[in-house]
Structure 1
Amino acid sequence: MSGSLCLIDTLEIARDAAHEARGYDPQAARARISEELKNVVDETELSDWHVDMTEAIMLGLDCVLTGLDTGVDGLVRVRQFAMPLLVDETKRKMVVIITPQGGLKNYQVNLVFEFMAAEVTRYVQSQQIRDMGLSLITVRDEKYTKEVHEEIRERKHRVIVTGPWMALEHKQFSRLLRSPAFTKDVAAIVVDEAHCVSEWINSFRRQYSRLSQLRDIVPLGVPFVAASPAIPPMILMDVRQRLGFSTRSTFLVNLGNDRANVTPLVVRMAGDARAGDLAALHFTVQEALAGGDLVKTIIFFNNCELALRGWRHLRELLPDALKERVDFLYTLRGDYTKRVVAQRFLDGEISILCATEAAMTGLDVASVRRVVQYMLPVSLFRWAQRYSHAGRDGKPAVAVFLAEESALKNARACVVARDTVDDTEGIDELNSLFSDESDDASSDDDSIRRQRKAARKQKQVEEGLLDWLETTECRRAVANRYFDNPVRSQDPIVPCCDVCLRRKADDPEAHLSSDEQAILEFHQRARTREPGPVVPPAELTKDNAPAPRQEERAKCLRDAILEWRWGCWEQHCGYCVWEPRALLSENAINKLVHSGKIETMEQLRAAMPDWGFFEQHGADLLTVITREDQEWQ
């Protein structure tokens, strides 16, 4: 569905202008576009918006594609972006796709894994793109040879996938994008995951937010396409401004991001999650503990420490035969380890993945049946991004939000405090309400002052997220307003949400289907679990230190650590002048081998308190040690 968010009907205006300038016939053009697309794309995959956006790009309009179906894989998205090439009579036009997963520079923050995750299906993608009569190439700094440069310059590849650094900074490729002789054959420059242009402006991935500079260096007349699976209106407005999209020359396609096959559920955690209420996660392994199988699940945590704690806690609950089917993924793990973990999750060898959002960027797994959020993220937008990983194969899935009640309670107090401000007094008064200045006793009563002081100290919760969590109406309706989704064309194929289910269950005249009853029972199990005890981290002392390893076992562990040290050094430090032993000394290895069993990060830190690489490589080293010990068990 094409829509408008404060945008005029730019496509109709562009048609009229083209008709006056060169006799453009929109009906004939659209008929040709439809015919060409049907020749290479299954007719069931085509929609009116494909034709609309292809025509808009042909007419030189910038495009915003928001609400792109998050159930589609990377291949379908690339094919959607490449559709304007199918109606190119010269057969020389190209599409440049800039993605957060592509073209990362070696010495930048190490996000190579994100590109490798997308690489899992790259061969299939390239083959199917060639079936469309096109050739796809991924452009990265370490792979950019003279031969690659010449192939691109000679238009041998018509779909070019790269990253922001290559487009802005690479000496040769960036020069191509600045050249009118080259860009006259560029049908469009696509900025994929365009919300990152706004989101990452102050993050460690600032390069993506600098894509606004691309508009300044690329010659006029090259259309830009900003695409995002989900983007709220305020962020969309910021992205348009940063990319230089004019209201008069921008065509908007808003498909909405409502997931018809995903049931959102909210569970309030009774304890303080920050203090260790990991028992809230017990429902994720209930089926396995009852003799069944583990359900394919991604559990999102807001930081690396929580992800590691969650992984360790779930492993402790499971029998030995299932422990290896739970793993964790975050950006501090080594690239090789992240690639192995991602591949094992894709292959089904891992069923539950404890992850941070940054580590999941670019990882597309179709068969995830559950997505769980542990503790409140910064916004409803971020939560929607995370639960979009559920049910990408179109089959029923659930998205479970574990909200700490303490944060919600203080968030309500925060909203009460904000509501005491007169909107006409402006944003300065709103900011001063939460400043660190002392309260004026004459301006408010004691109750409001206490609420404000408490709110300043507590975790801030976005009002959109709070509305979604606290609503007594349909959660989908709240999300649709937040994202400005169009009226949905398809009713949910699964139970709608926990609020709607409770309302229906309380209606004596309503009849629950078997699917609805099953979701209600699952929700009840997740809500009524017995909170587990908070187990303090174990410490290595003379009284509780495990027995030293025997000679043969110690030798195997030493060999495993040496193999890990060499691989880690070769991957991260191979260009350095110092040797692998600088990464982990022989004395440190001897201490690990003879220290007894080490199961936690706290025990590893206690064994090597002065190891300078603990934060960067400690989790990987612990994995090597624990797996070697488990093999001996």
Structure 2
Amino acid sequence: MQNFFLSSLFPPSTTLTMARQPTASLHSQHRKVQCRRVLPSSFRDPTKNPETSRDSEPRRLNEEELAEVKKAMEAHFQDGRMPRDFQIDMVVAQEESRDAMCHAATGLGKTFIAAAPFLLERNKTRVTIMVSPLVALQNEMVETFKKEYGVTAIAINSSHGGCTYKVMKDIASGMYNIVLLSPEMLLTERFIRNVLRNKEFSARVYSVFIDEAHCISHWGESFRKQYGRLGMIRAFLPKGTPVTAVSASLTPRVARDVRGSLQFRDGYLFVNKGNNRSNVSLVVRSIHNKADSYTDLDFLIPDGTTQRLAIKKAWVYCDHIHDGSDIVDHLQDRLPPELHDAIRPYHATLEPDYREKCMRLFREGHIRVLICTDAAGMGCNVPDVDIVVQWKLTGKLSSFIQRAGRAARGPDRTGIAVLLAEPSAYTLDTSPPDEPAFDVNEASQDGATSQSGKKTKSKKTAKSKTSQAKKSRPQKPRLSKEVAEQHGRWRGQRDGKGDSVPSLSGAAVTTSPPEVHIQEDTEGTHALVQTSTCRRTVISSVFGNPTPVVTVPCCDICDPTLLDLTRPGKAKKTPRNPKAPEINPDPHIALSLRNWRSRIYERDYPGAFFGASSLLPDDAIDIIASLPLFTNKLIEAHLQNKWRYWTRYGEDLVQCVLHAVEESEGALVVSEGVHGDLESGPQIGQEPEPRTCEASDDRNIAQLNVSASASGARSSRSRQTELSKNPRPAKRRRANKRAQGDAIEGASVFELDTTTAESNATAHASGNVGRAGSEGQPAIQSAAAIPPIPNTVELVPMSYRVPVSHTQSFGYYSSYIPYDRPP
């Protein structure tokens, strides 16, 4: 690879002269090789090869040539419009072989700067290399160049088969005027060897055009490092080839980075029109409801919407795909089923065919709201977007400016850009590091008084290594709640309270808010959120914009009525998730749930690519089968917020569980004649009536003993697991003792086979009734000897499952099992 780039930097006709150290010094020090580039005469003197090289010094167009450029650009607009001054200046700079940079708002026609030179007859056979960051943007620009400007263009990316030999041959032969590709594709060995070093192609190169040039500074050092190496493209192009960089978010620092990376020559042109969108209003407010409820976005779907066109066209940007999926689900739930397709996700992980179709349907108006990431954040040109929403703060203000620029791009249209910020953004101290932080941890000392007038107490913490390490870490300073309120924390609520800005309304405040500073790393994102003055002023300060001229309501600070367009929905009262029970599933309940799951799967999802366990996970079955009580409310509390099929199958599942409980109850009942409920059974502390046990009782008890033995074994296994996880000897001994006790109880006390039941029947006939034991002793205790239930024991209906180890008898009390802990 190193040899390739060395050979690429020097043409084949270049000679290398090498000077070496004397032979005697080679053994005592490293050999030093000095290389000096000797270019052929045609490269040293542009006049000797004028067809393949440009002048090293930019030349100025005369009046006749300037008039020709303006006439060609004006002829393109047939609807009475005229080219903007900055567009003419940028095209003239390319004609003069001057490097140029343009900072202009989205929708002002920066793409026309790349296409306009090909309106001149002398440039019909030339080619421009255009670098674009996103595949979707490249494909869209190809269509724009063809349909709007009549310029041939091709995008080299994965959606079109990549960089094939046929594509490279067509490019080298001059079939296209504009070649769009990513910096990673441009700097590959394959493209450099077959295209850039092709003499026929090199002779036709007109310029290099860098779209979204701010990516060089934002991504060039970490995310996409090839952006930081774009300057090396000059080594493969004719001398004097101009480089043009355009963006809608160039801060002074970013502009310096771009010029240095692209190796701008002296005499370059810089046009700063600013990124102010005069036809787009700005609204910034806090997320007031619970973030994962997404009800703050309810203003996108009006209540009771039944018509597709009643939904305004909107783009919702979020930086995480899982947030986007949840937002899609929430907004679709606010619509009738036939309108669910009006809300669609759009991000880079989706198939290219889906994204292409999705964007087409969005343009046509069938899709009304797109939930997207940066895949549609830069350059996508849809003229009739009414609302753009940014969900949570972006890392840099440039990202929000780019996304807000998707709104109202068509002529004579107006739009609104909304930033929904996390509540924590209002308490971050933006003061520079060298200045003292305002009201940071002032109330953490003993007896300190907070701004709300309440006393606060400090908490004594143990001085451990962990706590010392945490104290040594630099923490972001935070402001008080009162200052956050002055910064607009409660503006834009559903009831309208807190919409006024204290600094504007004249309200008395105990402490004036600290000055808002523009942070370099975020480009002033928090300053935009916390400001109590016009938000466009902050943006102009960050990007050096000229004085803004606005044709719509400016922002929510200047015109608070804009907040009425973005009020949050009603907060959802989600119940707290109950504490998960100790996993000890009832085998009969678990088996019934698995059988129910299989029936539902075979009935509703025959031949599906997923299995029955995807319908109801085994973990959910274990939790439900381990509940201490089986009630509709308790089952719903455990499944409603976690099981996606609760709305559809929840009621059926509950009936399945209750039916299984009834079957288990039937196994525990000794005799149907004595089975009752709480009203007919004995009261607490009362002595039960004695009764005579029948032989059939033993068979029922035998059925019970099978499950009781299993319960004891399960308890033993769980404590054996506890034993294996316990490294301390004392706890190991206690856990081992408990495990052995459970095993003995399950094996000796509850085991009863058919032979013992028959012997008990004989014992009943002879009147010798006793407790189950060994050596042929009777298995059932005398009814008169059954102890009464103590007053402290609570009676629980048998429709609830309780541990068998808490059962006192299996006779009359089989329907009222004592339970020594609250359910």
TM-score (norm 2): 0.52
Contact 1:178 1:219 in 2 (8 A): no
| Residue in structure 1 matching 2:149, options 129, 134, 150 | 129
**1:475 is aligned to 2:535:** yes
For residues 141-540 of structure 1, the aligned pairs below 5 Å read 142=161, 144-172=163-191, 175-179=194-198, 182-246=201-265, 248-270=266-288, 273=291, 276-289=292-305, 293-358=310-375, 360-361=377-378, 363-394=380-411, 395-409=413-427, 411-412=428-429, 415=431, 418-420=434-436, 453-455=475-477, 462=522, 464-488=524-548, 491-502=549-560, 519-523=562-566, 525-526=567-568, 529-534=569-574
Which blocks of at least 5 consecutive residues in structure 1 are unaligned? Answer: 1-17, 102-113, 422-448, 503-516, 562-588, 607-624
Q: Tell me the amino acid that sits aligned with residue 536 of structure 2.
A: R
**1:49 is aligned to 2:86:** yes
Q: Tell me the amino acid that sits aligned with residue 558 of structure 2.
A: C
Alpha-carbon deviation of 1:288?
4.8
In the aligned structure 1, how far is the partner of 2:217 from the partner of 2:372? 23
In the aligned structure 2, how far is the partner of 1:155 from the partner of 1:420? 62
Q: Tell me the amino acid that sits aligned with residue 80 of structure 1.
A: I
Which blocks of at least 5 consecutive residues in structure 2 are unaligned? Answer: 1-53, 438-470, 480-518, 624-643, 650-823
Alpha-carbon deviation of 1:37?
2.3
Q: Tell me the amino acid that sits aligned with residue 28 of structure 1.
A: E
**1:26 is aligned to 2:62:** yes
Gap change, CA 1:60 and 1:180, over 3 Å in 2: farther
The residue matched to 1:253 in structure 2 has which SS? strand
Contact 2:61 2:96 in 1 (8 A): no
Q: Tell me the amino acid that sits aligned with residue 483 of structure 1.
A: F
Q: Tell me the amino acid that sits aligned with residue 32 of structure 1.
A: E
**1:591 is aligned to 2:631:** no
In the aligned structure 2, how far is the partner of 1:177 from the partner of 1:20? 20
In the aligned structure 2, how far is the partner of 1:23 from the partner of 1:472? 49
Alpha-carbon deviation of 1:146?
4.6
The residue matched to 1:255 in structure 2 has which SS? strand
Measured against aligned partners, the alpha-carbon deviations of 1:582-630 in whole angstroms (never above 9, x if no partner) come to xxxxxxx23367x2699xxx99xx9xxxxxxxxxxxxxxxxxx99xx99
Q: State the match for 1:36 in structure 2.
A: 72
Contact 2:532 2:557 in 1 (8 A): yes
**1:94 is aligned to 2:138:** no
Q: Tell me the amino acid that sits aligned with residue 302 of structure 2.
A: Q
Gap change, CA 1:592 and 1:219, over 3 Å in 2: farther
Q: Tell me the amino acid that sits aligned with residue 542 of structure 2.
A: Y
Q: Tell me the amino acid that sits aligned with residue 54 of structure 1.
A: V
The residue matched to 2:263 in structure 1 has which SS? coil
Measured against aligned partners, the alpha-carbon deviations of 1:444-470 in whole angstroms (never above 9, x if no partner) come to xxxxx999645399xx98361222222
Alpha-carbon deviation of 1:259?
0.9
Gap change, CA 1:233 and 1:554, over 3 Å in 2: same
In the aligned structure 2, how far is the partner of 1:94 from the partner of 1:242? 23
TM-score (norm 1): 0.66
Contact 2:154 2:176 in 1 (8 A): yes
The residue matched to 1:187 in structure 2 has which SS? strand
The residue matched to 1:165 in structure 2 has which SS? helix
Measured against aligned partners, the alpha-carbon deviations of 1:335-363 in whole angstroms (never above 9, x if no partner) come to 44444443433332322222222454554
Gap change, CA 1:89 and 1:356, over 3 Å in 2: closer
Q: State the match for 1:614 in structure 2.
A: none
Q: How many residues align?
A: 483
CA RMSD of aligned residues (A): 4.1
In the aligned structure 1, how far is the partner of 2:179 from the partner of 2:89? 23
Alpha-carbon deviation of 1:384?
0.8
Alpha-carbon deviation of 1:364?
3.2
The residue matched to 2:310 in structure 1 has which SS? coil
Gap change, CA 1:353 and 1:90, over 3 Å in 2: closer
In the aligned structure 1, how far is the partner of 2:377 from the partner of 2:617? 31
Contact 1:549 1:596 in 2 (8 A): no
Q: Tell me the amino acid that sits aligned with residue 539 of structure 2.
A: A
Gap change, CA 1:416 and 1:401, over 3 Å in 2: same
Q: Tell me the amino acid that sits aligned with residue 239 of structure 1.
A: V
In the aligned structure 1, how far is the partner of 2:252 from the partner of 2:522? 15
Q: Tell me the amino acid that sits aligned with residue 296 of structure 1.
A: K
Query: Where is the helix percentage greater, Structure 1 or Structure 2?
Result: 1
In the aligned structure 1, how far is the partner of 2:340 from the partner of 2:60? 64
Contact 2:202 2:237 in 1 (8 A): yes
Q: Tell me the amino acid that sits aligned with residue 99 of structure 1.
A: S
Alpha-carbon deviation of 1:202?
4.6
Alpha-carbon deviation of 1:121?
7.2
In the aligned structure 2, how far is the partner of 1:387 from the partner of 1:175? 40
In the aligned structure 1, how far is the partner of 2:421 from the partner of 2:260? 34
Contact 1:272 1:406 in 2 (8 A): no
In the aligned structure 2, how far is the partner of 1:537 from the partner of 1:355? 31
In the aligned structure 1, how far is the partner of 2:324 from the partner of 2:299? 17
For residues 606-621 of structure 1, the aligned pairs below 5 Å read none
